Amino acid sequence: MIEQLAIFSENKPGKLERITAALSEAGVNSRAMHAASLGDMGVVKIVVDRPEEAYEALAGQGTVRKIPALAVRVPDRPGGLHEVTAALTRASVNIENASGFPVSGGEAILILEVADVPAAERLLEEAGFGVLEAEEFSEAVGGP
């Protein structure tokens, strides 16, 4: 399991820069990020190397939530993503949010938010997928 931070804030120029400045000033390194606009509001979801420090640093940048998530190794080939989503669907697990990106070695990493993270983690591991802990995630994306 990994922990994502979700920052809900106004969608206006400079807001993302203020979020990244707060992380930079706190010495927190970003590992993955997704930003989405919801009209006048937006959400930035970010995985960092030091979630507690990031949470404290972002307290003044909008509403911040800690969200448990799964980081799953997926084969980087046609059908790789489908294999994960099919395994979850067969077990009636709803994927609430997802993002992904390729990494080295012919793999991609899929970040999933589901209601019951421990149950989904067990299910995916039993199906043969590698579910990464925070340190493994950091290494997979090129961190120390």
**The domain that contains 93 carries what CATH number?**
3.30.70.260
Residue 138's pLDDT is 86
Structurally, the chain folds into a number of domains equal to 2
Same-domain pairing of 53 and 35:
yes
Asked if the model's pLDDT at residue 142 lies above 80, the reply is no
Asked if the model's pLDDT at residue 19 lies above 70, the reply is yes
SS3 per residue for 57-115: HCHHHCEEEEEEEEEEEEECCCCHHHHHHHHHHHCCCCEEEEEEEEECCCEEEEEEEEC
Span 14-34, average pLDDT: 93
At 100-126, the pLDDT tens digits run 999 988 899 999 999 999 999 999 999
Same-domain pairing of 82 and 134:
yes
Same-domain pairing of 102 and 126:
yes
Whether the model pTM is above 0.85: yes
Which residue among 19, 40, 68 closes a domain? 68
Asked if the model's pLDDT at residue 9 lies above 90, the reply is no
Which residue among 30, 52, 68 closes a domain? 68
Same-domain pairing of 87 and 108:
yes
Q: Tokens standing for 96?
A: 């609430």
Q: Give the structural domain span for 6.
A: 2-68
Same-domain pairing of 73 and 136:
yes
Residue 143's pLDDT is 66
pLDDT bin (cut points 50, 70, 90) of residue 132 is very high
Which residue among 68, 87, 105 closes a domain? 68
Same-domain pairing of 28 and 86:
no
Same-domain pairing of 130 and 103:
yes
